[in-house]
Structure 1
Amino acid sequence: MGDLSAASRAVPRFLIRGKLSIPRARAARAALPAPRPPWTTLFAKAFAMTAQQHAPLRRVHASLPWPHLIEAPHAQGCVMVEAREGEETLLAPARLFRAHDAPLPDLAQRLAAVKSSPREASAALRWMLMAGRLPWPLRRAGYALAMGLGWPVLRLGGNYAISVLGEHGVDVMDSVSIVPVFLSFGPIAPDGGVTVHFAMDHRVLDGSDAIRAMAAMQEALEGPIADELAALDAPPPRD
């Protein structure tokens, strides 16, 4: 984590906060029996759907051989989950590929797999553990090279990260991260109001991108994602 903290200082981030109103999504999720899809998966899917419509949200910055942007065909998410391995507790990155068209139960299963079997389910964790055994000058150089090339960041970390702490009723405004977008959300109020925080790489995005992202995420949560949640609660069709 120390190496990641040092690398993150090279990312010029700006912070922005907004309020979403998602009463329909809240009601549809509350109607489901436990275990319900985590709120983290709902916000991850909403952001991924938004990124399909707004290409800048799928980009990462690279400085080698000269400064340029790399655009992915779809948003690639990363969620840091607390996992147990024997008697040890660790943070493991769960990657969410193609979250924009993945069913919510599938996204929830991906998080659960990393929580229960972090080494087997998380290639990014295996890479981090392997890199952690190298001398610190090589680790720092490796992070610098990955950020310079851009594509290793996209491959191992994705182009957006999302916090799971909103599930526990707390607000997180920023995090140690080298990906272009860090997204967090606070407690979901009874009326469906929720505060959303973005920390964004200013080399890739600006405030107008964040404003558009919030508006589109609210539409996704209140529209297709609420519809998907309602369908999960629907009785099976009769023969």
Structure 2
Amino acid sequence: MRGRPVKLSAARRLVGDLMRFSIGVPRVTVQRHMNISALQGVRSSQSERPSWTVLFLKGYGLLSKETPELRRAYVKLPRPQLYEYPASIASVAHEREHEGERVVLLSLIKTPEQRSITELSALLQEARSRPVLEIREFRRALKVARLPAPLRRLLMWLGLNMGRQRGHRFGTFQLSVYSGLGAESLNPLTPLTTIFNYGPIGEDGSVTVRIHYDHRVMDGANVARALARFEEILNGEVAQEVGRLRQAGDASVTTSERSA
């Protein structure tokens, strides 16, 4: 059967390069079956519900703040060592339409633990809706992807192995999720230290959450404890902030009624 050749687009070359470096990472997965009914309950009471992506992103940022291992990376320059960042930078995967093709592009959010849920929602919505080439990270990645392969891979290798540049260019952790489509990834790849995802969330608040980690940086027991703490943060600090959103909204309505 005769088919037809399909030229690799810049976005597909970008994914290929990321996978090339991801394959070399000794990655292990730890998962935890969580119950986040407390967070689900307060979220359900909102007239405008923040997305689960935003809530998990905020929670993981808070988790990384108190877990230094999640802010570390294995780098090879100037010698093999671990490099620890003072704060997190989230790398979030988005499916966008570009040049007639659905492509996956990564946006960066600095210090998600310090940002409000409202601000995180706005940043994610911007990355999902603004024209692709107006997003700096998207534009830069697609520009690099058009370079000759040896140069592209050299730039990526340098960026991943120079501690300061690595965080600036690639982030400290990655979030890639499509539970909204009723599916979940069991073996996502990334060159970063951790990538986390979660499956569909049940009506009773049950959900499976996974952290896929670089074994050169940390061990499984660290990750298991981090997942237990992650569940506490989602039902605690994150749920409390969501509750304050409702209180702020109620206060705004009351003020408007009094003014009227």
TM-score normalised by the chain length of structure 2: 0.85
Residue 213 of structure 2 corresponds to residue 196 of structure 1: no
Deviation at 1:219, TM superposition (A): 1.2
2:3 — aligned with what?
none
Partner AA of 1:8 in structure 2: S
Could you tell which deviates more after superposition, 227-236 or 85-94? 85-94
Deviation at 1:150, TM superposition (A): 3.3
Partner AA of 2:26 in structure 1: P
- SS state of the match for residue 78, structure 2? coil
2:12 — aligned with what?
none
Distance 2:142 2:94 in 1: 16
For 1:185, which of 198, 211, 221 is the aligned residue? 198
Instruction: Please say if residues 26 and 192 of structure 1, whose CA atoms lie closer than 8 Å, have aligned partners that are also in contact.
Output: yes
Residue 159 of structure 2 corresponds to residue 146 of structure 1: yes
Distance 2:27 2:45 in 1: 38
* Deviation sequence 1:156-207 (CA, Å, 0-9, x none): 2211111231233322123231110000001111111110111101111111
Partner AA of 2:170 in structure 1: G
Distance 1:182 1:83 in 2: 20
* Deviation sequence 1:50-109 (CA, Å, 0-9, x none): 111111111111111211111111111111112245755332212121111211121111
Residue 136 of structure 2 corresponds to residue 109 of structure 1: no
Aligned residue-pair number: 237
Runs of 5+ consecutive residues of structure 1 not aligned to the other structure: none
* Percentage of matched positions with identical amino acids: 30
For 2:45, which of 31, 35, 39 is the aligned residue? 31
For 2:31, which of 9, 17, 24 is the aligned residue? 17
- SS state of the match for residue 199, structure 1? strand
1:119 — aligned with what?
133
1:236 — aligned with what?
251
Instruction: Please say if residues 173 and 198 of structure 1, whose CA atoms lie closer than 8 Å, have aligned partners that are also in contact.
Output: no
1:159 — aligned with what?
172
Could you tell which deviates more after superposition, 228-237 or 107-116? 228-237
Partner AA of 2:39 in structure 1: A
Partner AA of 1:155 in structure 2: H
Distance 1:167 1:20 in 2: 17
Deviant stretches of 4+, over 3 Å: 84-89
Instruction: Please say if residues 177 and 185 of structure 2, whose CA atoms lie closer than 8 Å, have aligned partners that are also in contact.
Output: no
- SS state of the match for residue 241, structure 2? helix
1:95 — aligned with what?
108
Give RMSD over aligned pairs: 1.7
Distance 1:40 1:168 in 2: 13
- SS state of the match for residue 236, structure 1? helix
TM-score normalised by the chain length of structure 1: 0.92
Residue 26 of structure 2 corresponds to residue 47 of structure 1: no
Could you tell which deviates more after superposition, 154-163 or 180-189? 154-163
For 1:135, which of 141, 144, 148 is the aligned residue? 148
Instruction: Please say if residues 14 and 199 of structure 1, whose CA atoms lie closer than 8 Å, have aligned partners that are also in contact.
Output: yes
2:7 — aligned with what?
none
Distance 1:154 1:173 in 2: 25
Partner AA of 1:150 in structure 2: G
Partner AA of 1:63 in structure 2: K
Distance 2:29 2:177 in 1: 18
Residue 260 of structure 2 corresponds to residue 223 of structure 1: no
